[in-house]
């Protein structure tokens, strides 16, 4: 991978993870209530908007990334996003990482490393 | 969100049809993103690049596919167990690779196929780890995002 492609890949993972975490923070606020009131509460707080901003930027970084690598390679390299999000969920929201989840994370990471190392 | 157990053949047809439709939408989205990037080439941190992106129809086709994918999800969500659903969101890796070979004549090299196989095994483990999890309570953020739990209460 060239430096530019690697940088775009890292930006892509960061924005996807950041966006998901922002949505999680928006959605899991217990003060939000229900129904329309819940959406109005979420719209009045920054998390939902930060999540949407991260997603919009993620879209651009993904298009830039895909214009430099084959789609079949890009989609495999992007599998690391689910690993990053699970680890972030573990760190920030204390989500459980069962042994099977750890095995899954290691396998997905290994697969991404195999594809990434192939140049 | 209720946890229904699949019983009838009709339910299975609903699942399979839903997941197939989801895969079609996801593949359409990625192929359209690739075409968007190709038309807007070279990528630059400039408005000129963003204008090239929005100046071609592909980005809009991608967004339509994205909306289709989202609503297919929301319909499946009511009934699909989270484990298989989690796996299905990431199985588009297979259909996107096939589409890349077919539409863009990309080489499915042995390294890519090996990598894809290892990743699919990982996804299978993650899907099995999710079985029994209830999306609103103990599913991880990743699975919730994939399931669009945020959008549906």
Question: What integer pLDDT is reported at residue B145 of this predicted model?
Answer: 58
What range defines the domain where residue A60 resides? 3-117
Question: What integer pLDDT is reported at residue B143 of this predicted model?
Answer: 60
Question: What integer pLDDT is reported at residue B2 of this predicted model?
Answer: 46
Question: What integer pLDDT is reported at residue B138 of this predicted model?
Answer: 52
Question: Which ipTM was obtained for this model?
Answer: 0.89
Q: Positive or negative, the Cα torsion across B36, A86, B147, B145?
A: negative
Query: Could you read off the pLDDT of A62-102 as tens digits, one per residue?
Result: 999 999 999 999 999 999 998 998 898 888 888 878 899 99
Interface with B, mutate which of A50, A111, A112, A114 (most B CBs under 10 A): A111
Question: What integer pLDDT is reported at residue B135 of this predicted model?
Answer: 52
Among chain A residues, the shortest Cα distance to B37 is held by A67
How many Å lie between the alpha carbon of B77 and the closest alpha carbon of chain A? Answer: 17
| Half-sphere exposure of residue A39: CA atoms within 13 angstroms, side-chain side | 5
Question: What integer pLDDT is reported at residue A61 of this predicted model?
Answer: 96
Render A65-118 in DSSP notation, one character per residue: HHTTS-HHHHHHHTTHHHHHHHHHHHHHH-----HHHHHHHHHHHHHHHHHHHT
Residues 6+ apart with CB under 8 A from B87: B123, B124, B126, B127
> Percentage of chain A with pLDDT > 90?
61
> Percentage of chain B with pLDDT > 70?
80
Among chain A residues, the shortest Cα distance to B139 is held by A95
Question: What integer pLDDT is reported at residue A92 of this predicted model?
Answer: 87
Residue labelled with tokens 């289709």 = B68
- Retrieve residue A17's tokens: 């993870």
> Percentage of chain B with pLDDT > 90?
52
User: What is the residue extent of each domain of chain B?
Assistant: 9-147
Q: Give the span between the Cα atoms of B85 and B120, in whole angstroms.
A: 14
A110 contacts B122? CB cut-off 8 A: yes
Number of domains in chain A: 1
How many Å lie between the alpha carbon of B101 and the closest alpha carbon of chain A? Answer: 8
Where chain B has pLDDT below 50, the residues are 1-3, 6, 148-153
pLDDT band at residue A58 using 50, 70 and 90 as cut-offs:
very high
């Amino acid at each position: 991978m060239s430096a530019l492609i690697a940088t775009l890949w890292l930006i892509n993972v960061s924005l996807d993870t950041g966006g998901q975490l922002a949505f999680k923070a928006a959605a899991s606020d217990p003060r939000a209530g229900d129904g329309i009131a819940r959406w109005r509460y979420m719209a009045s707080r920054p998390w939902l908007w930060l999540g949407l901003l991260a997603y919009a930027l993620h879209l651009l970084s993904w298009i830039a990334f895909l214009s430099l690598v084959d789609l079949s390679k890009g989609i495999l390299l992007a599998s690391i996003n689910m690993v990053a999000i699970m680890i972030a969920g573990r760190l920030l929201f204390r989500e459980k990482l069962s042994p099977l989840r750890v095995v899954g994370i290691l396998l997905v990471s290994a697969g991404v490393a195999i594809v990434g190392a192939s140049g | 969100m209720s946890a229904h157990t699949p019983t009838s053949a009709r339910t299975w047809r609903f699942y399979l049809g839903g997941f197939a439709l989801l895969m079609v939408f996801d593949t359409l989205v990625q192929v359209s993103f690739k075409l968007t990037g190709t038309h807007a080439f070279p990528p630059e941190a400039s408005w000129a690049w963003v204008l090239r992106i929005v100046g071609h129809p592909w980005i809009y086709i991608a967004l339509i596919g994205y909306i289709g994918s989202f609503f297919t999800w929301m319909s499946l969500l009511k009934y699909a167990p989270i484990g298989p659903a989690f796996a299905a969101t990431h199985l588009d890796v297979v259909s996107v690779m096939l589409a890349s070979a077919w539409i863009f004549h990309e080489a499915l090299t042995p390294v890519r196929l090996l990598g894809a196989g290892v990743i699919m095994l990982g996804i299978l483990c993650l899907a099995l780890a999710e079985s029994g999890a209830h999306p609103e309570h103990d599913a991880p953020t990743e699975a919730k995002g994939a399931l669009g739990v945020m959008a549906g209460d």
